[in-house]
Structure 1
Amino acid sequence: MNLKNNIKQNPRLKQLALYLLMPRHQARPRTWVRWFINPFRHKKGKGALIRRRTRIDVLPFQPFNLGSYSTIEDFATINNGMGAVVIGNHVRVGIGNVVIGPVTIGHHVILAQNVVLSGLNHGYTDPVIPIALQPCTIAPIQIDDDCWIGANSVITAGVHIGKHSVVAGGSVVTKNVPPYSVVAGNPAKVIRRYQESTGVWEKV
């Protein structure tokens, strides 16, 4: 049995390992983790750029991959504490975005300003226990290639956005989006679809 499995199966070792990685009751890893472990554990493609004023709250026990020529703009937050964050090539993660794993983003995707993608949900069903202390659930978000997510949009856990689709600004996406579609609203609904037979984006 390897060290990783030993830590997972021993509650005291697991608690110690988490304490060494990040301060108690915090989501941000310790400075030594960010400086001396993450650069060697996570993958950053050629020409990829993370702006200086970002919060890269990534830990070594979950993947964080940033593809070639992709950019994470200032004031964005990336968190892989509950699941992997995988970002493809030529992706723009806009100013003020929040990306909480598990999230997978394809190639040539544009995330405009203040977009929230969260593959995590807090439990709330026990009325006696504070919500902050209840177990979290996760459901992966997937955004396929060539998508554009408009400013101030929210993509909820478990949503799959199909290839070359557009999410209008301010939308709240709670259901899967078919490929080659435009969605808008709260909750977001399909308002246009590309028809290959006519070559036109038709209203729905």
Structure 2
Amino acid sequence: MNPLARALTHGVLNRGVHAVWRWLDRAGEIVPGTRAAAAFGSFGADSCIDFPPATLLNRRSIHLGSGVLVGRQATLSAGYGEDDPHIPDRALVIGDRSILGARVSITAHASITIGESVFFGQSVFVTDASHGYQDPTRPIGEQFGAHQPVSIGSGSWIGHGAVILPGARIGRNVVVAAGAVVRGEVEDFAVVAGNPARVVRRLEPEVGWVDSRGGVRPVLEGLFGSDPVRRPG
């Protein structure tokens, strides 16, 4: 085949492949009215899980509000295996208008609750249980840790690659910096960063946004802008 014919053939094939992929993207979306959506505990109006998902495990215990968008290659998982009889009815609850980026991984064993209008960057990991390591004679993967419910307050932003660990309780309108590892409680209207994540800015009544440690503000302004979360009202 001469170079011109080869180029023309490649161009036609390229356009065809991309056209098919766009069709698959649209046809494979999980939206209300599809059989896949009906398998969830609830699947609100105007919600969508992009195609292809990675893992959707025990959907009956997963609840999506209205206007929820979940990016492609997402893992939404409840329990330890298919048809686990011990999963709570509402193991994973995602509030209205929340947007979860591509490759998000959420594994709920007891309770993970995400509020309304919560935004995730890509590759965020959230879990309410980890592995134990107390028995040195057993593989770590066979030692399950305690279930510790996780909650993420409405209006919060969880940055790219952040990890939310068992027992985390994140307040309203919280910014979690990219790559942060969060455990424990985070107050409302705060910015946290680092591993382990610590509060680096907070909203003080009648004062505004204040730094919680010296030398941090210029870094945060570069990441989030000079006013990452506007004062309510």
Q: Which residue identity lines up with residue 152 of structure 1 in the other structure?
A: G
Q: Residue 124 of structure 1: CA displacement?
A: 1.4
Alignment partners' CA distance in 2, 1:194 and 1:181: 6
User: Are the structure 2 counterparts of residues 132 and 173 from structure 1 closer, same or farther at C-alpha, using a change threshold of 3 Å?
Assistant: same
Cα 1:168–1:41 shift into 2, 3 Å: closer
- Counterpart for residue 168 of structure 2: 159
> How many Å separate the matches in 2 of 1:36 and 1:54?
15
Match of 1:69 in 2: 67
SS of 1:120's equivalent?
coil
The answer on 1:129 being equivalent to 2:128 is no
Question: CA-atom RMSD, angstroms?
Answer: 1.9
Partner SS, residue 121 of structure 1:
coil
After superposition, residues 39-54 of structure 1 pair within 5 angstroms as 39-40=38-39, 42-54=41-53
1:201 has 2:227 as partner: no
TM (normalized to structure 2)?
0.68
Residue 113 of structure 1 pairs with residue 122 of structure 2: yes
What aligned pairs does 1:135-154 form with structure 2 within 5 A after superposition? 135-154=144-163
Unaligned ranges ≥5, structure 1: 1-34
- Any runs of at least 4 consecutive aligned residues in structure 1 with deviations exceeding 6 A, and if so which? 35-38
Q: Distance in 2 between matches of 1:38 and 1:45?
A: 9
Kept after mapping to 2: 8 A contact 1:45/1:69: yes
After TM superposition, the structure 1 = structure 2 runs for residues 16-95 of structure 1, keeping only pairs within 5 Å, are: 39-40=38-39, 42-59=41-58, 63-81=61-79, 84-95=91-102
**Alignment-mate amino acid for residue 108 of structure 1:** S
Q: How far is the alpha carbon of 1:37 from its aligned partner?
A: 8.8
| Secondary structure, counterpart of 1:132 in structure 2 | helix
Q: Using the TM superposition, give the Cα deviation of residue 135 of structure 1 relative to its aligned residue in structure 2, in angstroms.
A: 3.2
Amino acid corresponding to residue 134 of structure 1 in structure 2: Q
Listed one character per residue, the Cα deviations across residues 68-98 of structure 1 (whole Å, up to 9, x for unaligned) are 0001100111111155110000001111111
SS at match of 1:122: coil
Mapped partners of 1:50, 1:37: distance in 2: 10
The question of whether the paired residues in 1 share the 8 Å contact of 2:43 and 2:66 is answered with yes
Gaps of 5+ in 2: 1-33, 81-86, 213-233
Scaled by the length of structure 1, the TM-score of the pair is 0.77
| 8 Å Cα contact 2:37/2:43 also seen in 1 | no
C-alpha offsets along residues 94-145 of structure 1, whole Å, 9 cap, x if unaligned? 1111111131000000011111101111121100011122234211110010
Partners of 1:51 and 1:66 lie apart in 2 by: 14
Paired residue for 2:218?
none
Distance 1:41 1:53 in 2: 17
> SS of 2:185's equivalent?
coil
Residue 40 of structure 1 deviates from its aligned partner by 4.4
Equivalences for residues 99-110 of structure 1 within 5 A:
99-101=106-108, 102-110=111-119
Question: What letter corresponds to residue 163 of structure 1 in structure 2?
Answer: R
Percent identity between the two aligned chains: 33
Matched to 2:168, the amino acid is V
> Match of 1:28?
none
Provide the C-alpha distance between the structure 1 equivalents of 2:124 and 2:101, rounded to a whole number of angstroms: 8
